[in-house]
A and B are shown apart, each in its own frame.
Chain A
């Protein structure tokens, strides 16, 4: 009874307590009951991502020329399944994820290594593994696993060793090995994603500025070598990005048509299901990578700016949730998923507007595609798990080196 009252009181004043928590020392962290977990849940976040999925479903309905089939309905069904996964992940004990972090990472790494040996070819790149009847992209699992593993590492690393250069060896390897593996597939977009998320987490964990200055300088210096080792189709993509008008019917066609679609949408758009560029098939891949273009053509500047605002709200909500976490693990998991989401949105939108080269990156929750949906919902599940367990602190014996 007393304990229950204590819980209610604590929850009711949690807003006030957050500030106090930040400066308080190690506390006894209670095990949360299911009801407490639901109360601690961030429902606003669920509303935000659901609204994104609704936008996606509406856009897919329009892409299909006013039909739920073949995309819109499946998209919603997948989201509902994804929500199930999200709740499952969010409501399990955070310590479970803590314990699973390295094994999951290791499994993802082994599968990435297995891809070139056992993988299935698809469009000039080996990215898929056949597991029984399902094909599976190990790189997708790695997106989450990398975040978990890095968070787990920095939860373990005593803060006083933070600036020790030796402490950087392990995380650098954790990031570097998968980056190299996906570059070999070759999948440049995912490699950039891994590098960005990994680098972002190192930064948030507190690695010294100097490493980032050197790191960025190193990447810039390596560009000529990277260019040299790129595959022809990747070079073409980069060249196309630099000058899309050079070959309007060839490689530059997609970007040019995308810009035409965006620009012709104007301020208020051509109206729902009225986009000529999309409905008449001038746009490529409009149910996946170019769905933003299609949305922007039909909804105009006002609509696309609103959509971007919702994404920004989701990202800021993740930042907010990360800020409220007491453990380094929870913070970094949240922020890591946030960075992943941000990189997705930014690269996709920047790509369709001709700001970055064409890389096959979907628009989270809006683009049609099961794999990215599952990965994201898993990730959001971890974010909400961290949020629900924001007060949890780990005892040193719970955070072994392995």
Chain B
């Protein structure tokens, strides 16, 4: 074959093959185009979303907590800004050097310096150590300006709760603290550093109203998470104001009155609305000390203290009501037609049931006793008789009707329900059958019967008004409709005779609580004493020779004015001896203060309606 022929063939082959190569290049570019279409056209929405997620960082803005006032607008809980400077040892190259340099701007006492260095050497270097939390604006600004030259030094502004009522209001208002694990899962805003949630009292019960709504900042961030610009801001909304039904003046007086008792509680209600005017429990604690952070030892001391200052005895103390329960027994008997106004039982100082003997507090007996006299003189034998005739089920049902043996849904957490015993209850809780003798002593509020002071106040208010009064701790918002309590399913004449008996207790010669009379002309209180046995050793009645823990609890419930009830008050003095001696003067004094001041007749503070915007951007200057 000629050389040129070879060259021609070579050229043809090249042409063929280079065209094939070109075609395959076009084909592979087609593959690229196909892939491009897949990414940029078909899957574009998915990737657009991912790109936005990359780019946008959402930061929550902590809302400012709602304020709490008493019924007349006195601030009970407010917020103050605490400007803090702290040091993170891990970020500080030399903590002593950082402190030295910081010390040129703010004064660091030697004690503080020593504490910071001690903590830094002891705990994880990532835990910030507060150097000063009471900076002025001026100092705070100076530290912020210099912060870049102070490695490890950071600042923030913390909203700190201040409780103006102090220990007087502690059990009602409660306090706030860092969210625990469960609370953190409930809403992301609780994860913000320094965010506080209610831990007890109204702060806890009305947490969601007080919390407000978190704001949102949408930031555009770069790959390192640095904010480039603000895209959108949704201001946080402050939590709603809360106006309590409490009159701080009365509350303060009630606390003052209980000051000398070791463990005692008193509750004062507006009988018409159920509003709690005062609710005192002693001993108490200082919520501001908790906010500021108790030293480890101090907390343990308080939590384990014998008289349990953290427990609000008005709602968590469960006591045998003793004779204050006799109105329940009387009403149960009257409603069941087991007795009527004229029914009399003869009291010889005791009562035999089966082969047991139940004594009356007056060993000599009361003679023939009708229901009015039985209440007035608190004759045990009369109520033994009634209890035996009606049985425990009806007795306990009347207790429920009058508000005992239950908690109330009005926002105060951690209430205890007490006990209105029934045979079923005993089987379920103790696994034992009910004995008849237990009905007898239940008739005088002993045995299994347990009540809280709040329940006793509610019972008194219900007897005083004949309505199903439900307690309230927070005043209704202007837009909130409150229904008037429904009438109780108890005949008014029966209630009237019980009230008559309670009036006689205080105001008639021979009543058990003559010393409870109110020193105001024209105003009479009706009431009932109660002395509940704590253990059998106290049955000897004489308290003086017994150790404190063995003495009887003294109780008293009362309402006034007797002819037109406005207030109901219940008090318990633990191991105070007799109700007449220990508790009735407390109720008298609180009632006197109530009648004199008459808080329910005065116009109350009205919560500012709706939500308020939290001003401005609450980002912490120490961040980002």
Q: Which residues of A contact B (CB under 8 A)?
A: 22-23, 25-26, 158-160, 162, 200, 203-206, 257, 259-267, 276-277, 280-282, 296, 300-301, 304-305, 308, 311-312, 315-316, 319, 322-323, 328, 331, 335, 339, 342, 346, 349-350, 353, 355
Residues of A within 8 A of B9 (CB): 159
Of chain A, the residue at the smallest CB distance from B24 is: A342
Given A280-B228, A281-B223; A342-B25 close (CB under 8 Å): yes
Contact A263 B39 (CB under 8 A): yes
- A residues within 8 A CB of B13? 206
| Residues of B contacting A335 in the complex (Cβ-Cβ under 8 angstroms) | 18, 21
Are A266 and B44 in contact, CB atoms less than 8 angstroms apart?
A: yes
Residue-by-residue, is B9-51 near A (CB-CB < 8 Å gives 1, otherwise 0)? 1110111011101100110110111011101110110111011
* B222 with A281: CB separation less than 8 A: yes
Contact check, B48 vs A263: say whether CB atoms are below 8 A apart: yes
The contact sample of 17 A-B pairs, CB cut-off 8 A, is A159-B7, A159-B9, A262-B36, A263-B40, A265-B40, A267-B44, A276-B54, A277-B51, A300-B40, A304-B36, A304-B40, A312-B29, A342-B25, A342-B28, A349-B32, A353-B35, A355-B31
B429 within 8 Å of A by Cβ?
no
> Is A315 a contact of B25 with CB atoms below 8 Å?
yes
Any chain A CB within 8 A of the CB of B8?
A: yes
Cβ-based interface call for B482 (8 A):
no
How many A-B pairs fall under 8 Å by CB?
145
Q: Which of B22, B48, B223 contacts A282 (CB 8 A)?
A: B223
Among residues of A, the one whose C-beta sits closest to the C-beta of B4 is A25
CB distance B223 to A206 under 8 Å? no
Is there an interface contact between B48 and A266, defined as CB atoms closer than 8 Å?
Answer: yes
Instruction: Closest B residue to A326 by CB, please name it.
Output: B11
- Besides the known contacts A263-B46, A267-B41, A349-B32, 17 further A-B residue pairs in the complex with CB atoms under 8 A apart: A204-B18, A205-B14, A259-B39, A262-B36, A263-B44, A263-B51, A266-B41, A277-B51, A280-B221, A305-B36, A316-B22, A319-B21, A323-B18, A328-B10, A346-B28, A346-B29, A353-B36
B528 CB, min distance to chain A CBs, angstroms: 72
Q: Are A276 and B32 in contact (CB-based, < 8 A)? A: no
Partner of B4, one of A26, A323, A328: A26
CA of A229 to CA of B273 in the docked complex: distance in angstroms?
Answer: 87
- Contact indicator A200/B221 (Cβ below 8 Å): no
For B7, the chain A residues whose CB sits under 8 A away are 26, 159
Q: What is the minimal beta-carbon distance from A297 to any residue of chain B, in angstroms?
A: 8
Task: Please name all residues of chain B whose beta carbon is closer than 8 Å to the beta carbon of A328 when the two chains form the complex.
Answer: 10, 14
Are B223 and A301 in contact (CB-based, < 8 A)? no
Q: How far is the CB of A354 from chain B (nearest CB, A)?
A: 8
Closest chain B residue to A25, Cβ basis: B4
B228 nearest in chain A by CB position: A280
Within 8 Å of chain A (Cβ to Cβ): is B187?
no
- Inside 8 A of B547's CB, which chain A residues have their CB? none
- 7 residue pairs, one from A and one from B, having the closest CB atoms: A263-B47, A264-B51, A159-B6, A301-B40, A281-B223, A280-B222, A319-B22
Bound-state Cα–Cα, A175 to B401, Å? 102
State the Cβ distance, A57 to closest chain B Cβ, in Å. Answer: 22
Complex Cα distance, B47 from A301, in Å, reads 14
What residues of A have a CB within 8 angstroms of the CB of B39 in the complex?
A: 259, 262-263, 353
Does A267 contact B40, Cβ atoms closer than 8 Å? yes
Residues of B within 8 A of A (CB): 1, 3-4, 6-11, 13-15, 17-19, 21-22, 25-26, 28-29, 31-33, 35-37, 39-41, 43-44, 46-48, 50-52, 54-55, 220-224, 228
Chain A contact residues: over half helix, strand or loop, or mixed?
A: helix
CB atoms of B32 and A263 under 8 A apart: no
- Contact assessment for B33 and A261 in the assembled complex, using a CB-CB cutoff below 8 Å: no
- Contact between B21 and A296, CB atoms less than 8 A apart: no
Closest to A339 in B: B21
Q: How far is the CA of A280 from the CA of B39 in the complex (A)?
A: 21
B220 touches A280 (CB 8 A): yes
Q: Closest approach, in angstroms, between the C-beta of A136 and any C-beta of chain B?
A: 30
Q: A162–B11 Cα gap in the complex (Å)?
A: 13
A353 to B19, CA, bound (A): 27
B18 & A296 in contact (Cβ 8 Å cutoff): no
| Closest A residue to B40 using CB positions | A301
A322–B203 Cα gap in the complex (Å)?
85
Alpha-carbon gap, A250 to B530, bound state (A):
75
Write the chain B residue with the least CB distance to A311.
Answer: B29
In contact, B32 and A350 (Cβ under 8 angstroms): yes
Q: How far is the CB of A106 from chain B (nearest CB, A)?
A: 26
Interchain CB contact under 8 A, B40 and A262: yes
> Are B51 and A276 neighbours in the complex by a CB distance under 8 Å?
yes
- In the complex, which of the residues A277, A311, A342 contacts B54, with contact meaning CB atoms closer than 8 Å? A277
Q: What is the CB-to-nearest-CB distance from A229 to chain B, in angstroms, rounded to a whole number?
A: 28
CB distance from A391 to the nearest CB of B (A): 13
Q: B22 touching A264 by the CB < 8 A rule?
A: no
Note all chain B residues with C-beta closer than 8 A to A301. Answer: 36-37, 40-41
What residues of B have a CB within 8 angstroms of the CB of A280 in the complex?
Answer: 54-55, 220-223, 228
Q: Are A160's CB and B1's CB within 8 A? A: yes
Name the distance in Å between B14's Cβ and chain A's nearest Cβ: 6
Most chain A CB within 10 A, of B11, B14, B40, is at: B40
In the complex, chain A residues whose CB is within 8 Å of the CB of B50: 260, 263-264
Contacts of A311 in B (CB 8 A): 29
Q: Which residue of A lies closest to B13 (CB)?
A: A206
Q: How far is the CB of B395 from chain A (nearest CB, A)?
A: 69
Contact B36 A322 (CB under 8 A): no
Min CB gap A280→B, angstroms: 4
Q: Please, how many angstroms separate the alpha-carbon atoms of A328 and B11 in the complex?
A: 8
Cβ-defined contact, B54 with A266, below 8 A: no
Given A200-B21, A204-B18, A280-B221, CB of A308 within 8 Å of CB of B29: yes
Find B32's partner among A264, A316, A346 (CB 8 Å cutoff): A346
Q: Which residues of A contact B1 (CB under 8 A)?
A: 160
Please give the distance in Å from B469's CB to the nearest CB on chain A. Answer: 62
**Interface pair A331/B41, CB less than 8 Å apart:** no
Q: Which of A23, A162, A265, A300 has the most CB of B within 10 A?
A: A265
Residues in B with CB closer than 8 Å to A319 are: 18-19, 21-22, 25
Nearest chain B CB to A237's CB is how many angstroms away? 19
Report A-chain residues with C-beta under 8 Å of the C-beta of B21: 200, 203-204, 319, 335, 339
With both chains docked as a complex, state the minimum distance between the C-beta of A23 and any C-beta of chain B, in angstroms.
6
Chain A neighbourhood of B43, CB < 8 A: 263
Q: Is the CB of B51 within 8 A of A261?
A: yes
Q: How long is the Cα–Cα vector from A205 to B14 in the complex, in angstroms?
A: 6
Known contacts: A159-B6, A263-B39, A355-B35. The answer to whether A315 contacts B18 by CB under 8 A is no
Least CB separation from B50: chain A residue: A260
Q: B50: shortest Cβ distance to chain A, in Å?
A: 5
